[in-house]
């Protein structure tokens, strides 16, 4: 599979700068403060990665399939939990959006997100009273 996300920034010696922020501006930004329910975001046609920052407590995210009518992130113990990733308190994590379906738009004029068949929606939820910030890249 071809690499569909932006490459890591590199220093003058050519080494990847893995701990550095994205070398591009965010396509979109979202802030959720003290939310007690999940928030769902539909990413843009050009989004291949997201960055999630937590302030206070941790957070959980879940990739939402295109045909799914369930958009809640459930983080309770037991068989009802459905989160895909967690972010620790006061941390920043970057996620490359995974492939949801095999791309069928060869030759069509669409953004890389749709062209590569990536997930188009993501839900996030705090793990307590806190803030979550999400940026699209």
| DSSP per position, 20-80 | SPPSS--SEEEEEES-SS-EEEEPPTT--EEEEEEESS-EEEEEE-TT--------SSSTT
21 in any annotated domain: no
7 in any annotated domain: no
Q: In 3D, which of 6, 19, 36, 7 has the Cα closest to residue 126?
A: 36
15 in any annotated domain: no
What's the number of domains the chain is made of? 1
Beta partners for residue 55, in sequence order: 131
pLDDT of 51 reads: 95
13 in any annotated domain: no
48 in any annotated domain: yes
pLDDT of 60 reads: 94
Q: Which domain holds residue 114?
A: 30-136
Provide, rounded to the nearest whole percent, the portion of the chain with pLDDT above 90: 53
pLDDT of 129 reads: 86
2 in any annotated domain: no
pLDDT of 105 reads: 56
16 in any annotated domain: no
84: tokens are: 């895909």
22 in any annotated domain: no
The model's pTM is 0.87
Strand pairing report for 39-42 and 59-64: unpaired
């Amino acid at each position: 599979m071809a690499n569909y996300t932006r490459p890591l920034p590199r220093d003058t010696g050519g080494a990847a700068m893995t701990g550095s922020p994205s070398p591009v501006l965010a396509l979109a930004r979202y802030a959720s403060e003290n939310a007690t329910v999940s928030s769902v975001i539909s990413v843009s046609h050009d989004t291949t990665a997201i960055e999630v920052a937590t302030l206070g407590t941790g957070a959980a995210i879940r990739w939402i399939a295109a045909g799914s009518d369930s958009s809640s992130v459930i983080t309770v113990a037991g068989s009802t939990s459905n989160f895909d990733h967690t972010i620790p308190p006061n941390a920043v994590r970057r996620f490359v959006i995974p492939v949801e379906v095999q791309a069928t738009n060869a030759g069509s004029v669409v953004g890389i997100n749709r062209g590569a068949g990536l997930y188009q929606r993501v839900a996030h939820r705090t793990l307590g009273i806190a803030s979550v910030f999400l940026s699209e890249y």
